[in-house]
Amino acid sequence: MMQEERYCPSCSTPLEIRDTQGSRRPVCPSCGRVIYYDPKLAATVVVEREDKVLMVRRLTQPGFGLWSLPGGYVDRGEVVEHAAAREVVEETGLHVDITGLVGLFSEDGHPVVVAAFDSRNTIGEAIAGPEVSELGFFQLDALPPLAFPRDVEILKAWVGLRNGGGDQARF
């Protein structure tokens, strides 16, 4: 069993228990980091427009200031596809239809498993939400600095699915 942290792993400030994100959770009063103890499932979505993919610049740790696919944690009891679509709305203002699973992605020693989804029917105007400083659509061969190396793996798998399981040469 993992020992619960008493201090923020980012800035070493003592944690406080606060009502946040619909639950009582440990939060750093200094940097705002929310601490999750249990292994978590995160959901991310590949949103394409005119042969470019949507990326968001993060305002939170991990990866502050770097770019990632839109996504976030799945709440306990939440349908994973609904969480994925919710995260896109929260971070970008866009509404999407989830069309299928790209894959599950995990790393040895890392407590977060990522469920990546494909989408279609993007509706709305792209506006940066409170957890991102900006957003943009990028060519696959010209991605900005990424917060998570797994985003490249997700995009490779997504390209493979879009190409019928074949060519990933766009990377």
Chain centroid offset of residue 49 CA: 18
- CA dist 12 to 7, 29, 58, 71, Å? 5, 11, 21, 26
Chain centroid offset of residue 85 CA: 11
Q: Answer for the pair 42, 83: CB distance below 8 angstroms, yes or no.
A: no
Q: At 6, is the secondary structure helix, strand, or coil?
A: coil
The C-alpha atoms of residue 130 and residue 10 are separated, in whole angstroms, by 20
The per-residue pLDDT for range 29-46, each reduced to its tens digit, is: 999 888 876 668 999 999
pLDDT of residue 76: 77
What structural domains and CATH numbers belong to the chain? 1-37 (2.20.70), 40-162 (3.90.79.10)
Distance between start and end Cα atoms, the chain: 40
Using 50, 70 and 90 to split pLDDT, how confident is the model at 3?
low
| Known active-site residue 78 | no
Assigned token pair, 106: 């995990």
In the numeric block, the tokens 């866009």 are attached to 94
Assigned token pair, 154: 């997700």
pTM tops 0.85, yes or no = no
The per-residue pLDDT for range 97-130, each reduced to its tens digit, is: 999 999 999 988 778 899 999 999 889 999 999 9
pLDDT of residue 1: 32
Q: Which of 5, 16, 107, 134 is catalytic?
A: 134
